[in-house]
Structure 1
Amino acid sequence: MSEPRTYRKDTSAAPRGYSSWEAAGLLWLAEAEEDGGASIAELRDVDTTHIDLVQYAPAPATNLAADEFGAALAATHAAGAPAFGAPPARWSSHGFIGPGESPMPMPVEPTQTWGAFFAEQRIRHLLRAGRAKGLWEEEGELFEQVAARLESGEFDDGRPPARIHGDLWAGNVLWTSSGAVLIDPAAHGGHPETDLAMLLLFTAPHIARIIAAYDEAAPLADGWQERVGLHQLFPVMVHAVIFGGGYVRQSVEMARKYA
């Protein structure tokens, strides 16, 4: 049987450490595969200038593949993490999120509660990054109010930290003949609703079936639909800082719902 082909992701334009961060996330998420977790792109090699992965042949997303992916993602989350905000194993610095050529540094510091983690290391961190670029000059208090509600524990539900992909938009799910394969993680200990909200933000194929299968495998907490926008505020703020444009207005509108 011939060796599978290799896909080389060029990371030469990324900040130092980016490729190692991504590799650590891939390996950490892949640990859950033995227990039914989602399939993770197989790492072949990593260097400061590239990441080599097995190259997968694309195939249409099917209902069955979506069902299997939803259940598998629940198993990945169930593999857990040492704390909210905890980085992947083999990693001890800050993380990154965003396009490979210009990713944003993101904190990954273990925190006692999800709300405190999301408030400080996601909402406030991005608010500071955005204001340094002249964004949200008049709306800063709005985002601070969201962070204060998070920090108060209002959105904490007592669930333990999940092992999440962290950047699970539709483009980071490869559909192959053997099902979904995940790439480009920003993995950390987080809330499982964050990954699901990302899949909903840019509407992954068969999203309703993915969510239903996930919910059957690991029942979602009451009111999760009302919190989708709260989790989506993070990636929309990332897009606002990196790309500007309509994402700035969208982030303000989303923040207003949770302020």
Structure 2
Amino acid sequence: MTKRRGDAPERFFEAEAAGLEWLAAAGGARTARVAEVGPGWIELEHIAEVRPDRVSAREFGTALARTHAAGASAFGAPPDGWSGPLFIGRRPMAAAAETSWGRFYARDRVLAFLPIAEAAGNVSPAEAELVRRAAAVVASGAFDDDDPPARLHGDLWNGNVLWSAEGVVLIDPAAHGGHRETDLAMLHLFGCPFLAEVLDGYERERPLRAGWRDRVPLHQLHPLAVHAAGHGRSYGVALAGAAEAVLALD
């Protein structure tokens, strides 16, 4: 499968290749193999898709836990060996080298996209203030824990989860070091077939901390902020709702 974009930002597909290879090196969840990559294009192995099933879902959860456990050098860290830009979709995404997940997440994964969403008219001033209040709580370290930086896919919505006869294959990452609950929250946000089985497989391999379900809105702030920046008013409303839920946790 070859993807081409004449309007691709500089090193766009090279960043995708670096992310896929870094995730693959974890030895957990399978990623599409990169055959070749160059300016404005990338060639990936063809994935023949099949219907999702419970066994593959459980195996995917276990494999994803292993990918996360492979870790990253810091919160916000790019794939090992990659010094170029990072992207989520077509939008630039900052790299960082933080020891505090909250500082990194609030600054680089939530607030970075909020002005874009405001300028697009998808977030009202009152909603933006809610998001900023929630981000301030996150940045304070209120939700920091002893989980080390996880090796995240970073854009783990259902469209990037392909089901093959050999199991799940991941594509189109926004790979970086982050909190493992963020990948799982994105699966919740956009839906994933047999999600209960995915989570069962994950927790059998690497149990989540108590209360993780209550923290799903916290970890959805990032994907909602990204989508509010370019995908419509409904995501601005959802972002404000997630911010309210985060403030209620504090």
| SS at structure 1 position matched to 2:26 | helix
Q: Cα distance, 1:12 vs. partner?
A: 2.2
Task: Give the C-alpha shift of residue 122 in structure 1.
Answer: 1.1
Aligned residues: 246
Task: Name the residue aligned to 2:11.
Answer: 17
What TM-score does the superposition give when structure 2 sets the normalisation length?
0.95
Q: Is the 1:40–1:181 contact (alpha carbons within 8 Å) kept by the matching residues of 2? A: yes
Deviation at 1:136, TM superposition (A): 3.3
Give the Cα–Cα distance (whole angstroms) in 1 for the partners of residues 185 and 42 of structure 2: 27
Q: Match for residue 83 of structure 1?
A: 74
What is the alpha-carbon distance in structure 2 between the residues aligned to residue 238 and residue 120 of structure 1? 13
% identity of equivalent residues: 48
Instruction: Report the equivalent of 1:130.
Output: 117
The Cα shift of 1:240 comes to 1.1
The answer to whether the 8 A contact 1:143-1:255 is kept is yes
- Tell me whether 1:181 sits opposite 2:169 in the alignment: yes
Q: In terms of mean alpha carbon deviation, does 193-202 or 176-185 score higher?
A: 193-202
Q: Which amino acid aligns with 2:131?
A: F
- Cα distance in structure 2, aligned partners of 1:57 and 1:191: 31
Counterpart secondary structure, 1:225: coil
Over the residues paired in the alignment, what is the CA RMSD in angstroms? 1.2
Stretch of structure 1 that moved more, 14-23 or 204-213: 14-23
Give 1:74's match in structure 2, choosing from 39, 52, 65.
Answer: 65
Which whole-Å deviations, capped at 9, do the CAs of 1:175-219 have from their partners, x for residues lacking one? 000000000000000011011111111110110000011011000
Question: For 1:146, which of 111, 115, 134 is the aligned residue?
Answer: 134
Residues 71 and 177 in structure 2, CA contact (< 8 A), matched pair in contact too: yes
Is 2:93 aligned against 1:106? yes
User: For residues 116 and 11 of structure 2, what CA distance do their matches in structure 1 show?
Assistant: 20
Tell me if the contact between 1:32 and 1:76 (Cα under 8 Å) persists in the aligned partners: yes
Output aligned runs, 1:217-228, within 5 Å. Answer: 217-228=205-216
Deviations 1:8-65 (A, max 9, x none): 01232221111111111001001012xxx01010000111111100001111111111
Which residue does the alignment assign to 1:256?
A: 244
Q: Which residue of 2 aligns with 1:4?
A: none
User: For residues 82 and 118 of structure 2, what CA distance do their matches in structure 1 show?
Assistant: 29
Gaps of 5+ in 1: 1-6
Choose which of 154, 178, 188 in structure 2 pairs with 1:166.
154
Pairing 1:241–2:236 present:
no
User: Separation in 2 of the partners of 1:191 and 1:237?
Assistant: 17
**Residue pair 2:117, 2:236 contacting (<8 A) in 1 also:** no
Residue 39 of structure 2 corresponds to which residue in structure 1?
A: 48
**Structure 2 unmatched ranges of 5 or more:** none
Alpha-carbon deviation of 1:112?
1.1
From 196, 217, 226, give the equivalent of 2:184.
Answer: 196
1:120-149 per-residue CA deviation (whole Å, 9 max, x = no partner) reads 001111112223434433332211111111
Shift of 1:257: 1.6
